[in-house]
Structure 1
Amino acid sequence: MSAPTTHFLDTRVERDVAVLTLRRPEKLNAMNVATRLRLASAIREFGTGDRVRGIVLTGAGRAFSAGEDLQTPPTSYADLRAAVETFHDITRAILETKVPVIAAVNGIAVGGASEITLCCDARIGTPATEYFQPENGRGITISNASSVLLARLVRNHAMRMVLGSPRIVAEEALRIGLLDEIVAPDRLLDRAIEVVVEWTPENNTTALHLALLRPAPDEIESAFAREDRAAQKSWESGVFSSGVADFWAAQQDRGQGNAQPFAHKNNRLDRP
């Protein structure tokens, strides 16, 4: 059972589990606003529990997602605010579901894409999985309620991840709590689906436990409000626009064009 690709997102149902795949491999699955709107809609559609037992979110190719598509950056604060809101709404959609949501992190997860995985109920990776939070050196601020969710998962590691922007490889991600499991690449989707099946036995109270174990809505909305204020200050100071301009200038200097949208302009962690 499958649906056609819409806005770089494929949806299919396998073993009564919805598999949502970011499918823009030539751009490392970088997400535009349309893709994020479609993703939130699909999560809500399948998240009722009427059609499937759970949801798996993954990416096509060698990356989970390079995050925000900086090819078309906002040109006004209103545009920025609208873009950030689409990230926030994915978090809302996931936390409102009645079924488990599992992130199958097949490769590098950058910025807003890595933040999307933080509100999932489990994160399963492969040896190729990496986390990378480059926002601090790009004039961009974090979103998706990650100001709460990241620290909730990794505690004191959150500060160095955001401020220092190191790449967190799979083994370290497992050690600090970003990943729950590491499996072979050819087992990733099967294992994610297995977890959904394990968590939704016959006569289950899974929906009730999800509501008890996930962060409370007021905590999430409070984080959104703080993150929105930070984004506004970044825009009004000119740091956001300068950071994005410097990023593209650095890309052109290396002759890479759009090939690696997650390269970091300061620490030059730009390998594929």
Structure 2
Amino acid sequence: MTDNDHLNVQIDHDVAVLTLNRPEKLNAMDALTRVELAQTIRRIGAGELVRGIVLTGTGRAFSSGEDLQTVPSSYDEVREAFASFHDITRAILETKVPVVAAVNGIAVGGASEVTLSCDFRIGTPNAEYYQPENHRGIIISNASSFLMGRLVRNHAMRIILGSERINADEALRIGLLDEIVGPEALLDRAGEVLRQWNSDPRTTALHLDLLRPRPEDIEAAFTREDNAARESWESGAFTEGIKRFWTSKKAASTTPATSN
């Protein structure tokens, strides 16, 4: 267990399960949780404690991404938020053990992007990918500008520019998910994959280094995303997009229900 109530850590025999635990907010990640998640992945992923890491969520969502409770008041706040998301990607790609994203429900924005850096993505039939950034004035992060195309090729354009919701079957078809299992089997299957893949930690760590994206490509993507975020902030698109998001949510919450 970590010091952050929004992130639970459990080691089941030789597999670590990291669970985002803020179901009332669809497991939205505040700054503290993002920093804690990166630190925990680095500590557990050094290869001395476990054979693999599973990242999942509590309840009906994997995670709704960044907590947009407040609109950033300066570009420095935007830059710090991007830095904490980027560091989760770095932490995953630096591990000496495989990392599996167990996508139990909807994965939104930065949370969906975190799964792209994992070595295997397994979902339930309720898994869903949604990257609304382009329609909210926000810029994608986590090196997803590189990782998304690496996984799904030309589908990246419609997913990001169109802010399309991608259900589990479609995610499996295009390569966002590697496998779909029932909710009751999700964590067991994730653990099974990790134990199969990491039968010999000495060679597994070497193969991870060979098969994962090169650090220089990831860092180049971070730089491009940071520059785009700065331009979005300076143009006003970032602030206006988040304000529109909260205005629409408030309007939806005050609209009376109707029956047909």
Report TM bin, short chain. over 0.9
Structure-2 change in CA distance of 1:106 and 1:204 (3 Å): same
Output aligned runs, 1:56-71, within 5 Å. 56-71=54-69
Percent sequence identity is 65
SS of 2:48's equivalent in the other structure is coil
TM-score (norm 2): 0.96
C-alpha distance in 2 between matches for 1:133 and 1:83? 17
- Determine the structure 2 residue equivalent to 1:26: 24
C-alpha distance in 2 between matches for 1:28 and 1:93? 23
CA-based RMSD: 1.2
- Determine the structure 1 residue equivalent to 2:258: none
TM-score (norm 1): 0.92
Displacement of 1:6 in angstroms is 1.2
Displacement of 1:221 in angstroms is 0.2
SS of 2:10's equivalent in the other structure is strand
Displacement of 1:40 in angstroms is 0.1
Structure-2 change in CA distance of 1:170 and 1:82 (3 Å): same
Structure-2 change in CA distance of 1:205 and 1:167 (3 Å): same
- Determine the structure 1 residue equivalent to 2:102: 104
Which residue of the other structure, out of 247, 250, 253, is the alignment partner of 1:249?
Answer: 247
Which residue of the other structure, out of 165, 174, 177, is the alignment partner of 1:176?
Answer: 174
C-alpha distance in 2 between matches for 1:256 and 1:151? 39
- Contact in 2 for aligned 1:132/1:165 (Cα 8 Å): yes
**Which runs of structure 1 show a deviation greater than 6 angstroms over 4 or more consecutive aligned residues?**
none
Displacement of 1:5 in angstroms is 5.6
Displacement of 1:232 in angstroms is 0.2
- Deviations for 1:233-252, whole angstroms, at most 9, x for unmatched residues? 00000000000001111111
Give the number of aligned pairs. Answer: 255
Amino acid in structure 1 at the alignment position of 2:198: T
Output aligned runs, 1:30-109, within 5 Å. 30-109=28-107
- Determine the structure 1 residue equivalent to 2:140: 142
- Deviations for 1:18-41, whole angstroms, at most 9, x for unmatched residues? 100000000000011100000000
Displacement of 1:204 in angstroms is 4.8
SS of 1:12's equivalent in the other structure is strand
- Contact in 2 for aligned 1:88/1:144 (Cα 8 Å): yes
Amino acid in structure 1 at the alignment position of 2:207: H
